[in-house]
């Protein structure tokens, strides 16, 4: 078993279309967790920030995008930054301060370019379908699934499937009790070696067996017992 992916660029040695995002992003505003990958057969996936983080202009606004561990991003998954939202309070849609070489506005107008929103936060083990679009300030919970070509305009709860334009609730992946146990377990925070011990249960969806496995730490075990396991 490969020991880690601290420096590894490509998911596999024979395929340069899938990269570990953590190891190709050099931008303090974009944070990505371990094992999260991006696939792109049209463009060089190493150019994810340039091609898939749109309207990212730190000189106007310091964006924050946080993507958790073990996320799967299909080709064309795109994040819009807050500067994409023009100022709704303005009489004109046109963002005059951006074209300030022509208009010579005071610097104080720079903050009136857009309707700014908070950070975009993605949990762990989230699957993004082909060409999905994530709007600024959205929070996506652990274990969620974003359907192909969805436009996510509002928060997505953990372990929820959404799809469409705008993205709407489709279904929960598991019942509420199981979701609570998985959220308490937080398997994505375990060391690789411990995850390896229960991969058969994880891959095959044997949730009860996974929750009863010997690797389960004392803290998570107590939480699960309190939830009624």
**From the candidates 86, 102, 139, 206, which is the catalytic residue?**
86
At 192 the three-state DSSP class reads: helix
At 79 the three-state DSSP class reads: strand
Task: Assign residue 54 the CATH number of its domain.
Answer: 2.160.10.10
Residue 27 resides in a domain:
yes
Shared-domain flag, residues 58 and 123: yes
Chain segment 87-106, per-residue pLDDT in tens: 777 788 887 777 777 888 77
Q: What's the number of domains the chain is made of? A: 2
Q: Which long-range contacts (CB under 8 A, 24 or more apart) does 44-52 make?
A: 45/16, 45/17, 45/18, 45/19, 46/9, 46/19, 48/19, 48/21, 48/24, 49/25, 52/76, 52/77, 52/78, 52/79
Evaluate whether 140 touches 156 at the Cβ level (below 8 Å): yes
Evaluate whether 159 touches 143 at the Cβ level (below 8 Å): yes
Q: Which domain holds residue 34?
A: 10-173
Residue 1 resides in a domain:
no
Shared-domain flag, residues 110 and 219: no
Chain segment 150-166, per-residue pLDDT in tens: 999 999 999 999 999 99
Shared-domain flag, residues 133 and 190: no
Kindly state the average pLDDT of the residues 45-72.
90
Residue 2 resides in a domain:
no
Evaluate whether 80 touches 136 at the Cβ level (below 8 Å): yes
61 catalytic? Reply is no
């Amino acid at each position: 078993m490969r020991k880690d992916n601290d420096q590894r660029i490509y998911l596999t040695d024979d395929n340069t279309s899938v990269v570990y995002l953590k190891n190709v992003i050099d931008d303090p505003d974009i944070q990505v967790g371990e094992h999260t990958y991006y696939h792109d057969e049209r463009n060089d996936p190493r150019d994810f920030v340039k091609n898939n983080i749109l309207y990212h202009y730190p000189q106007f606004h310091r964006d924050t995008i946080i993507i958790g561990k073990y996320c799967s991003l299909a080709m064309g998954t795109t994040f819009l930054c807050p500067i994409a939202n023009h100022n709704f309070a303005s009489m004109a849609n046109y963002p005059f301060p951006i074209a300030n070489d022509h208009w010579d506005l005071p610097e104080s107008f720079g903050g009136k370019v857009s309707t700014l929103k908070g950070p975009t936060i993605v949990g762990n083990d989230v699957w993004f379908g082909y060409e999905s679009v994530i709007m600024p300030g959205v929070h996506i919970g652990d274990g969620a699934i974003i359907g192909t070509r969805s436009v996510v305009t509002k928060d997505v709860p953990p372990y929820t499937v959404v799809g469409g334009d705008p993205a709407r609730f489709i279904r929960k992946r598991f019942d509420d009790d199981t979701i609570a146990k998985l959220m308490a377990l937080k398997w994505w925070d375990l060391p690789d070696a411990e995850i390896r011990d229960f991969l058969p249960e994880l891959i095959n969806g044997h949730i009860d067996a996974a929750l009863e496995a010997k690797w389960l730490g004392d803290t998570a075990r107590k939480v699960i017992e309190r939830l009624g396991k």
